[in-house]
C-alpha cells in the first residue's frame, strides 16, 4: 500500500495505491451513496489493472502531524477512542466491516471539528491488531508530565495485548477504575483546601492532622476530658501543678492553636485541641 497527496486548486486528495484490483461491491455503493459519520469521502478508480482509492482530506491534519507540535494528553486519547468506537458502530449499521478501518496515525485526520477515518475496502488486517499498534503510538507520544495520560495509555496498551478484546468494555473498565480514583483524590484536595481557607492559610500535613483531631475529640471538649479510641477519660482529678504546660504553634494569619500531648502516650492519644 502506497499513499501520496495530490493537490488541486480547491481540494487536497489522498491517493492510496493498493497494487490490487478491486471489483466494486456493496461496500463502495454504501460509501458513495451515504454520508457515514466518522468516514472521509472516498472514490475508487482503476489504473493499469490496479485500484486506486481517492479520499478528500482538504483542510485536514493527520494525527501524527498534529502531535508533532503538541504532546498527547489523556483527553486527546479519550476523545479519539470514543470516536473510534462510535465510528465502528456506525459502520456496522451499514454492514461495513470494522477490519477495513485504517488506524495508522499518519492516516487519521482532524479537521478542527472532528476526527475522520479512512475506509479501505481491500484492507485485510485485523482491527484489534491495528488498534493495539495505535496504542504503541500513544505511549511514544505522551505528555509524560501528566500522570492520567500515562495511566490511560498503559492500560489500553496492556489490555489490547489479548487476542480477542472488546474495546468498549476496556474503555468502560478504565473509566470505572481510574475516574473514580481521581474523583476521590479531587474530593480530598477540596476538603483540605476548605480547611486551609478556614484557618487562614496554608497548612502543613501535621497541622492538617491536628485540626481534624478536633472533630474526634468533641465530647472531650464538653466534659474537660479527652478521647482515646472513642472513649472519654476524665482529667479533672489532676492538679494544676501536675498538668503539662501546653505547647503553642501557629496555623497562619494570626491563628494560634494549642496542642497538649500526654507523656508516654500511644499514637493517637491526644488531649484537647483548643483554638483561640
Question: Could you report the per-residue pLDDT of 42-60, keeping only the tens digit for each?
Answer: 999 998 889 999 999 999 9
Q: Which three cell numbers stand for residue 215?
A: 472533630
Is the confidence at residue 233, as pLDDT, over 60?
no
Q: How far, in Å, CA of 206 to CA of 198, rounded?
A: 16
Residues contacting residue 28 through CB under 8 Å, at least 6 positions apart: 42, 44, 121
pLDDT band at 271 (very low <50, low <70, confident <90, very high): very low
- For the segment 135-151, the average pLDDT, to the nearest whole number, is 92
Is the confidence at residue 237, as pLDDT, over 60?
no
Is the confidence at residue 239, as pLDDT, over 80?
no
Q: What is the mean pLDDT of the chain?
A: 78
Q: Which three cell numbers stand for residue 10?
A: 480547491
**Domains assigned to the chain:** 1-198 (1.10.510), 205-275 (no CATH)
Q: How far is CA 205 from CA 50, 208, 222, 240, in A?
A: 70, 5, 27, 32
For residues 275 and 224, the answer to whether their CB atoms sit within 8 Å is: no
pLDDT (0 to 100) of residue 245: 52
Indicate the angle between helix axes 74-93 and 127-141, nearest 10 degrees. 160
pLDDT (0 to 100) of residue 81: 94
pLDDT (0 to 100) of residue 223: 45
Q: How far, in Å, CA of 54 to CA of 41, rounded?
A: 8
Q: How far, in Å, CA of 271 to CA of 226, rounded?
A: 5
DSSP conformation class of 243: S
Q: How far, in Å, CA of 79 to CA of 114, rounded?
A: 10
Q: In sequence order, what are the beta bridge partners of 155?
A: none
Q: Which three cell numbers stand for residue 193?
A: 483546601
pLDDT (0 to 100) of residue 77: 95
- For the segment 219-237, the average pLDDT, to the nearest whole number, is 47
Query: What pTM was computed for the model?
Result: 0.65
CB neighbourhood size of 261 (10 A): 12
Residues contacting residue 19 through CB under 8 Å, at least 6 positions apart: 1, 2, 50
Residues contacting residue 38 through CB under 8 Å, at least 6 positions apart: 83, 86, 87, 90, 91, 114, 115, 116, 117
pLDDT band at 275 (very low <50, low <70, confident <90, very high): very low
Q: Which three cell numbers stand for residue 208?
A: 492538617
Helices (H), the chain: 26-33, 63-69, 74-93, 127-141, 147-159, 167-174, 180-198, 205-216, 218-223
pLDDT (0 to 100) of residue 48: 87
Q: Which three cell numbers stand for residue 228?
A: 482515646
| Chain segment 58-72, per-residue pLDDT in tens | 999 999 999 998 899
Amino acid at each position: 500500500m502506497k499513499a501520496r497527496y495530490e493537490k488541486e486548486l480547491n481540494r487536497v486528495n489522498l491517493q492510496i495505491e493498493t497494487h490490487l484490483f478491486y471489483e466494486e461491491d456493496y461496500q463502495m455503493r454504501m460509501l458513495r451513496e451515504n454520508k457515514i459519520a466518522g468516514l472521509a469521502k472516498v472514490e475508487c478508480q482503476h489504473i493499469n489493472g490496479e485500484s486506486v482509492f481517492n479520499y478528500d482530506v482538504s483542510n485536514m491534519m493527520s494525527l501524527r502531524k498534529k502531535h508533532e507540535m503538541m504532546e498527547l494528553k489523556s483527553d486527546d486519547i479519550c476523545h479519539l477512542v470514543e470516536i473510534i468506537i462510535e465510528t465502528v458502530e456506525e459502520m456496522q449499521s451499514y454492514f461495513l466491516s470494522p477490519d477495513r478501518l485504517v488506524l495508522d496515525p499518519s492516516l487519521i485526520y482532524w479537521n478542527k471539528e472532528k476526527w475522520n477515518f479512512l475506509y479501505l475496502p481491500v484492507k485485510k488486517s485485523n482491527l484489534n491488531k491495528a488498534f493495539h499498534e495505535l496504542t504503541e503510538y500513544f505511549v511514544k507520544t505522551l505528555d509524560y508530565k501528566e500522570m492520567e495520560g500515562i495511566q490511560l495509555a498503559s492500560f489500553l496498551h496492556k489490555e489490547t495485548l489479548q487476542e480477542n478484546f472488546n474495546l468498549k468494555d476496556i474503555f468502560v473498565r478504565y473509566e470505572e477504575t481510574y475516574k473514580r480514583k481521581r474523583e476521590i483524590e479531587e474530593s480530598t484536595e477540596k476538603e483540605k483546601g476548605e480547611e486551609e481557607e478556614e484557618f487562614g492559610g496554608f497548612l502543613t500535613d501535621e497541622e492538617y492532622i491536628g485540626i481534624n483531631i478536633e472533630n474526634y475529640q468533641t465530647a472531650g471538649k464538653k466534659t474537660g476530658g479527652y478521647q482515646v479510641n472513642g472513649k472519654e477519660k476524665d482529667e479533672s482529678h489532676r492538679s494544676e501543678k501536675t498538668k503539662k504546660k501546653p505547647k503553642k504553634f501557629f496555623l497562619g494569619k494570626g491563628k494560634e492553636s494549642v496542642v497538649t500531648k500526654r507523656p508516654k502516650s500511644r499514637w493517637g492519644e491526644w488531649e484537647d485541641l483548643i483554638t483561640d
